[in-house]
Amino acid sequence: MLQNSNKQNNETMDKNLKLMGMSAIILVALFIYTIYKSSASIHSTSYYVGLIFLFILLFLSLLLRYYKDKIKKFLPQSRFSQELEKAKEKEHTPSESSSQITASSFLEFAQSSITFKDVAGIQSVKEELEEVVDFLNAPKKYLKHGIKLPKGVLLVGPPGVGKTLIARAVAGEAKVPFLYQSGASFVHIYVGMGAKRVKELFSKAKAHAPAIIFIDEIDAVGKSRSGNSNDEREATLNELLTQMDGFDGESGVIVIAATNKIEVLDEALLRAGRFDRRVFLNLPNIEDREKILSLYLKQKKYEFDIKELAFNTAGFSSAALATLINEALLNMVKRKESVLTIEDIETAKNKVEFGKKEKKILTTEQKEILAIYQACKAYISRYETTLFQEGIKSLTELFPSKTALMNHLRNYLAGSVGVEVIKGEAYVVSTQDLKEAYALAHKMVNEYKMANDALVLIESVRSDLKSEIYKHTNEVNRLKELILKQEVIKANDLSK
């Protein structure tokens, strides 16, 4: 089809040149015929001027036809024509287009201008990554003590919390080259292409060390291997694992990856020596949202209280807040004003769709139920908890005792039992916690042989929790009010 289109373009140009030539010949013939019929006009100056013009026209048409190929190279091509030329070249060299992708064609290093000052509301995450930045800036300080840089840092969190922005901020703080790739970019229909890209990626990073490789949505290529097939994705994952084993902490290259679904990643990718450090990001709490909004509204005129807006945007990710402010500013411009008002914010709220996290934009009653749920979990587990925290800390003991497993089961069930005790009826808040609780109970019965019946075990734990929470309702309510106010229960709040 592309060849036909190219052929049609050439034929069209040939027809135009022929038409010019024929027109010149006809005009010359008509002019001579007119002169023949009216010889009196031959002696006038206009006769000679017209005759010379026609011969020049005829000469130009012949000249253009003869040099048409050379002239075409100097004429500006349309975008469509350029695409046709590229397609034609690819058809003539199929092996290059399908199997030869050089590093320069898809690997482009960039110097990030973003620093931690441009990222608000993630102080704990910054603290975890500051030593990585310091290592990239002053490696000798660590290497003289035999300390090696972590090979990989895995950022885990829901969409929109700023995982990519954080990776760019690390590169900006360290002032090292930053190479961005998405997990999907390694997945190809051609066997071996994904593995080849991974190899080129790490080769170029080592050549430009110190450097940061950022792989976004790594779950696209790093899902658990089934063992039943040897497809392109698994070959790419194998190459990624090999490359991460092939360099050490002294190479000056660090891999930062991001995922929303850590549970689907292959175990080999998560083992020590590959992604040595995991950083978990949650939705921003009220204090974080206030800082984020202050950053987005910097050097802008507005007539509302940022603290109140932060309180009313519970459940918003940093990306959602950015979209909210942008939509509000668009509405302000539409009104032909220069000051942002709360009416602009409300209009923007009605326009913006927040995807899966839309359910997190809660009413007062829903927020209270969630606060009770998280307060009960915090009280029973004695862990720091946020209002929108999903799940609980995983069991890390190598040889867990029955007591440790029972405590873990209590942590899973505490929220749902607490809501039932305080509200007087059962509510569905987190189905994931319930699934984990029942899965652990079945393991204790079928695999660990620590109980006889999973349902009896669950009911026994629920009964104990009901009694304990009922006795300490005042303490749970105190924690509920605290988490409603600041959207986080810290460790020192639990000791009171």
Of 152-161, 216-225, 374-383, the range with the highest mean pLDDT is 374-383
Q: For 122, phi and psi rounded to 5 degrees?
A: -135, 50
- Check pLDDT > 90 for residue 284: no
CB 441 within 8 A of CB 451: yes
- Check pLDDT > 80 for residue 327: yes
- Check pLDDT > 60 for residue 32: yes
- Check pLDDT > 80 for residue 212: yes
Task: Give Cβ neighbours of residue 19 (< 8 Å, ≥ 6 apart).
Answer: none
- Check pLDDT > 70 for residue 491: yes
> Tell me, what's the pLDDT at 136?
81
Q: Which CATH number does the domain 286-358 belong to among 1.10.3330.10, 1.20.1300.10, 1.10.8.60, 2.40.33.20?
A: 1.10.8.60
pLDDT, tens only, 162-194: 888 888 888 888 888 888 888 777 776 556 677
Confidence class for position 90, pLDDT limits 50, 70, 90: very low
Identify residue 375 by its one-letter amino acid code: A
Measured between its terminal Cα atoms, the distance across the chain in Å is 76
Q: Which residue, 407, 383, 379, is CA-closest to 393?
A: 383
Query: Which one has a higher pLDDT value, 158 or 231?
Result: 158
Three-class SS string for 116-176?
A: HHHCCCCHHHHHHHHHHHHHHHCHHHHHCCCCCCCCEEEEECCCCCCHHHHHHHHHHHHCC
Confidence class for position 449, pLDDT limits 50, 70, 90: very high
- Mean pLDDT of all residues in 128-154: 81
CATH class of this structure's domain 110-280 = alpha beta
Domains 110-280 and 364-494 share a fold: no
Only one residue has tokens 């991974």, namely 198
Q: Which of 41-50, 324-333, 479-488 has the lowest mean pLDDT?
A: 41-50
Query: Which one has a higher pLDDT value, 235 or 1?
Result: 235
> Tell me, what's the pLDDT at 10?
55
Mean pLDDT of the chain: 78
> Tell me, what's the pLDDT at 70?
63
Query: Which one has a higher pLDDT value, 51 or 255?
Result: 255
- Mean pLDDT of all residues in 222-231: 67
> Tell me, what's the pLDDT at 354?
45
pLDDT, tens only, 308-321: 998 888 888 888 88
Only one residue has tokens 């000056």, namely 252
* 225 CB-contact burial (10 Å; exposed 0-12 / middle 13-18 / buried 19+): middle
The percent of residues in the chain predicted with pLDDT above 70, rounded, is 73
- Check pLDDT > 60 for residue 205: yes
Only one residue has tokens 């000791």, namely 495
- Domain residue spans in the chain? 2-92, 110-280, 286-358, 364-494
Q: Which of 36-40, 51-55, 112-116, 417-421 has the lowest mean pLDDT?
A: 36-40
CATH fourth-level superfamily of 364-494:
Peptidase M41 (1.20.58.760)
The percent of residues in the chain predicted with pLDDT above 90, rounded, is 24
